[in-house]
């Protein structure tokens, strides 16, 4: 297996390639397929190794607008915590996790003395709030303290080592897609599904890209459309945005510009409270004293007003992240017309571990919010 490391070469390429081309290239895809226009809960923030700046990327107008300096040299990976909308970045220059103010771009470091020389290329929050750093090897990070914990190495579905995970993003159906080097190559070109708990990469398709292209980031739209940011060395407009067909790996160029950031994630707009973006669920409680016995349980939860909800799932998530759905059909929203709150009760025929139970709110556009774990009554 090759031991070469993908390095952030964008700053170098920008310095040595003369300014030959100006502008962007567009292709004939409907703008509505690229973003949710005007949604203050889904602003696309970006960071880049060649610029100490947080930026806002608009896929409708194909523009990049700087917000402000993060305050360090190399902020490269970005992720938004689903529970409160807090944006985090990882700075490879100081090997530290940082929280970022989306109004000013200012970053505050959460330093872990044990994280020196650790390099990540992407950060990923799981739906239940665990944070993973991806690169040559996987780590789990504590978003409160910045501490990092090694998890061994990546392997593919056949147990072979995977050398590098530079990009990953959750699909609306809950699968974590990633780009990986699983064919003994310096530059990764395989698209697959990554299990961050076990560090297992399962191949799906081969990306149809030139050998010299360097994948940087994956971005899913709420409707499931997948896009990939690629660095193409040797071109002035070196950052490229592609549409990707996950099943085949075929790509189609959407936009090229030297200003597209390397890594992106959604977060609420500056000043927008996270509660305006979430369909909050409270009081998730499980009761095992049901007269039916036999390990059965009843789980209850209460919504804080209802709108834009397709329904709910009750799921069990174990320590390895294995998700098991307890309900067959979607539990329907009861107060979406009135907007009022509602308390739900769901019977589980057999379940022992109350702490692994969660409630998923399924939004109309396919987004999933997760609440729990359930407290035992």
Q: Both tokens of residue 246?
A: 């996950």
pLDDT exceeds cutoff 80 at 114: no
Check residues 152 and 169 and name the one with the higher pLDDT: 169
Are 89 and 264 spatial neighbours (Cβ–Cβ below 8 Å)?
no
Mean pLDDT score of the chain, rounded to an integer? 82
CA gap 174, 126 in Å, rounded? 9
pLDDT exceeds cutoff 70 at 101: yes
Please give the class, per CATH, of domain 10-267: mainly beta
Q: Over the stretch 201-211, which tens digit does the pLDDT of each residue have?
A: 999 999 999 98
Percent of the chain with pLDDT over 70: 84
- Position 292 scores a pLDDT of 61
For the chain, give every domain's residue range.
Answer: 10-267, 278-376
- Position 86 scores a pLDDT of 94
Selection from 219, 192, 222, 223 nearest residue 207 by Cα: 192
- Position 240 scores a pLDDT of 96
pLDDT exceeds cutoff 60 at 20: no
- Is residue 7 very low, low, confident or very high in pLDDT (cuts 50, 70, 90)? very low
Q: What is the 3-state secondary structure (H, E, C) of the chain?
A: CCCCCCCCCHHHHHHHCCCCCCCCCCCCCCHHHCCCCCCCCCEEEEEECCEEEEEEEECCCCEEEEEECCCCCCEEEEEECCCCCCEEEEECCCCEEEEECCCCCCEEEECCHHHCCCCCCEEEECCCCCEEEECCCCEEECCCCCCEEECCCEEECCCCEECCCCEEEECCCCCEEEEECCCCCCCCCEEEEEECCCCEEEEEEECCCCCCCEEEEEEECCCCCEEEEEECCCCCCCEEEEEECCCCCCEEEEEEECCCCCEEEEECCCCCCHHHCCCCEEEEEEECCCCCCCCCEEEEEEECCCCCEEEEEEEEECCCCCEEECCCCCEECCCCCCCCCCEEEEEECCCCCHHHEEEEEEECCCCEEEECCCEEC
Query: Among 3.40.50, 2.60.40, 1.10.287, 3.30.70, what is the CATH number of 278-376?
Result: 2.60.40
- Position 170 scores a pLDDT of 92
Q: Over the stretch 271-310, which tens digit does the pLDDT of each residue have?
A: 998 878 877 888 899 987 766 666 788 999 999 888 889 9
- Position 184 scores a pLDDT of 59
- Of 133-137, 181-185, 187-191, the poorest mean pLDDT is in 181-185
pLDDT exceeds cutoff 80 at 342: yes
């Amino acid at each position: 297996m090759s031991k070469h490391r993908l390095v952030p070469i964008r700053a170098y390429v920008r310095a040595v390639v003369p300014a030959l081309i100006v502008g962007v290239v567009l292709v004939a895809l409907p703008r509505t397929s690229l973003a949710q226009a005007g949604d203050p809960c889904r602003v696309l923030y970006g960071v880049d190794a060649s610029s100490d700046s947080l930026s806002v990327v608009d896929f409708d107008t194909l523009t990049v607008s700087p917000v402000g300096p993060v305050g360090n040299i190399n902020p490269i990976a970005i992720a938004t915590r689903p529970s409160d909308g807090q944006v985090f970045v990882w700075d490879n220059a100081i090997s530290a996790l940082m929280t970022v103010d989306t109004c000013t771009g200012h970053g505050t470091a959460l330093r872990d003395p044990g994280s020196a020389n650790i390099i990540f290329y992407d950060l990923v929050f799981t739906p239940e709030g665990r944070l993973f750093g991806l690169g040559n090897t996987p780590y789990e990070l504590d978003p409160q303290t910045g501490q990092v914990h090694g998890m061994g190495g990546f392997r593919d579905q056949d147990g072979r080592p995977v050398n590098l995970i530079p990009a990953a993003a959750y699909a609306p159906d809950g699968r974590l897609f990633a780009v990986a080097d699983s064919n003994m190559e310096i530059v990764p070109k395989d698209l697959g599904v990554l299990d961050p708990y076990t560090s297992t990469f399962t191949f799906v398709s081969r990306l149809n890209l030139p050998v010299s292209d360097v994948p940087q980031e994956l971005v899913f739209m709420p409707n499931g459309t997948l896009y990939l940011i690629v660095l193409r060395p040797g071109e002035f407009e070196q950052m490229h945005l592609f549409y990707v067909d996950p099943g085949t790996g075929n790509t189609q160029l959407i936009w090229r510009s030297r200003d597209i950031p390397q890594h992106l994630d959604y977060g609420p707009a500056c000043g927008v409270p996270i509660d305006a973006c979430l369909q909050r669920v409270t009081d998730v409680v499980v009761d095992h004293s049901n007269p039916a016995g036999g390990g059965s349980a009843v789980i209850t939860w209460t919504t804080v007003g209802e709108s834009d909800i397709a329904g709910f799932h009750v799921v069990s998530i174990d320590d390895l992240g294995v998700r098991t759905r307890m309900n067959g059909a979607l539990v329907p929203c009861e107060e979406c017309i009135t907007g009022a709150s509602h308390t739900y009760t769901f019977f589980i025929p057999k379940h022992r571990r109350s702490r692994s139970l969660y409630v998923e709110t399924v939004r109309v556009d396919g987004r999933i919010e997760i609440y729990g774990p359930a407290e035992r009554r």
